[in-house]
Amino acid sequence: MSRSHPPKTHADWQALAASLRDEKGLETRAFIDDAFVEAASGETFATTNPATGETLAHVASCDAADAEIAVGHARAAFDGGAWSRLAPGRRKKVLLRLADLMEAHKHELALLDTLDMGKPVGSSLGDMAGAIACFRYQAECIDKLYGEVAPTGEETLALVLREPLGVVASIVPWNFPLMMTAWKVAPALAAGNSVILKPSEKSPLSALRLAGLAREAGLPRGVFQVLPGFGHTVGKALALSMGVDCLAFTGSTAVGKQLMQYAGESNLKRLYLECGGKSPNIVFADCRDLDRVAKHAAEAIFHNQGEVCIAGSRLLVENTIREAFIDKVVAAAETMQPGDPLDPASFMGAMVDETQYRRVLDFIRQGQEEGARLRAGGEALEGPGLFIPPTVFDGVTPEMTIAREEIFGPVLSVFGFDLEEEAVAMANDSPYGLAAGLWSQDIDRIMRVTRRLHSGQVFVNNWAGGDQTMPFGGVKQSGNGRDKSHHSLEEYSELKSVWMSLAT
């Protein structure tokens, strides 16, 4: 299928999927030192389409030996200076070229994510837009960030310089494979670092295709490398490596804690974490259009099959409107059923793999056993594929498992409240603090509640709004990193103070 006729229909996407498999094949090798190579051990792992159960490919399974080789090449590239000492404006041109190549291949990249982890192709296309925008934003930022001149006396001159850190290892999740890759890789590359990417073993294909595009864009040898494999093998090796200067991770809080230990056991490398969430979404009775709010509340949890770190999984509704509002949410959920991910009309796709599928179903069972009232969904769909419909529980209490644990699936827990103070206390009653939302027409209340919510980001009368200019990250056990915006560039740079004496 030519680029002049982009896929639009279900049949178009099916045809493109067939062409990727039959004509071009799928890149499955690691990308090390500007070349696609097999893992040093020769081992591979299978990546599977969760919508069909079909094995897509067998991908190189890297381990500690591959990590050591890649780190050596990354360090040599950094020390060589072909990228690290290149003028920011020239780095910008290369990254903009890469963004253009991503744009030209966006349907292929979107399809790879859809086949690999089961998300609807329309959602994957949205991810591509975000990934491309991220590369362009970071590229344009890098030659516009200045150092500083400190306010010293006449006989001295003090400069504060920004310099790249060195070798950055990025470990990204499977739920937004290429978009999360862009959020980590783009600012690290823009700042002049060498980057080693470890994609999730559940969704490695788009990262490997990106490697080929990065080489075509002109990134120097060894500056960008991709090591597919498992967290306990190659991921652990990168985290423990004395040659890695910074580790950027998006994933579970449990793994984030383990990576902090590895950083301490090795070279005390910088560590930026974006971890789990159990985000509250607060609806006050003064909202004007409850139908619209209910639709957004449903989308906040059911988008991407609920496999979203900021999913609005805890819905807090003022009791005076709760019953009527839940009815509206359930009605909205009925329009968001899972379907073939290659069908542009599908709102939800398949769960990423059997493990996640069983985990979500187990949480649903626990919710029923602990006394929550099931209002929608609750059972997997029959037939091939790992599909779970939107599930809504009412009558949830704070001590229930579904109220506290990050489910990472299409499961909504609804709570009621009477007073504003009660809503804030319930919202903050979580070890997580990644995102929060509130819906109200009262500007005074909005300002009060926004400041009191313990969250890295707060969405007011929307959910998941914001563009590349807005930092993304959490507090508490949701992590300490900041993706997007120029703040992410600061994470991948270090400040050097230079004090010059001008006295003779």
Structure-token pair, residue 391? 């599930």
Q: Which of 134, 307, 309, 406 is catalytic?
A: 309
> b vs e for 91-113, b when ≥16 Cβ sit within 10 Å of the residue's Cβ?
bbebbebbbebbeebbbbbbbbb
Helix (H/G/I), strand (E/B), else coil: 250: strand
Contact present, 432 and 277 (Cβ < 8 Å):
yes
DSSP conformation class of 398: T
CA dihedral sign of residues 408, 413, 418, 422: negative
Strands 411-417 and 391-394, by their bridges, are parallel
Contact present, 91 and 190 (Cβ < 8 Å):
yes
- Rg over CA atoms, the chain: 23
| Known catalytic membership, residue 309 | yes
Residue type, 359: R
| Known catalytic membership, residue 141 | no
Q: Which of 27, 274, 307, 318 is catalytic?
A: 274
Q: Nearest 5 degrees, angle CA 123-CA 271-CA 256?
A: 65
Locus of tokens 């890759």: 181
Contact present, 169 and 244 (Cβ < 8 Å):
yes
Q: Which residues contact 252 (CB under 8 A, 6 or more apart)?
A: 275, 276, 406
CA 362 from centre of chain: 24
Structure-token pair, residue 356? 């996640």
CA dihedral sign of residues 166, 171, 247, 183: positive
Structure-token pair, residue 132? 């491309």
Helix (H/G/I), strand (E/B), else coil: 82: coil
Strands 391-394 and 432-433, by their bridges, are unpaired
Locus of tokens 């979107």: 110
Contact present, 59 and 185 (Cβ < 8 Å):
no
**Nearest residue to 474 via CA among 232, 267, 273:** 273
Helix (H/G/I), strand (E/B), else coil: 84: coil
Helix (H/G/I), strand (E/B), else coil: 423: helix
Helix (H/G/I), strand (E/B), else coil: 249: strand
User: What is the helix (H) or strand (E) element at residue 414, kind and residue range?
Assistant: strand 411-417
Beta strands in 132-276 (DSSP E): 148-149, 156-164, 167-171, 194-198, 224-226, 246-250, 270-274
Dist CA 326 CA 6 (whole Å): 39
List active site positions: 274, 309
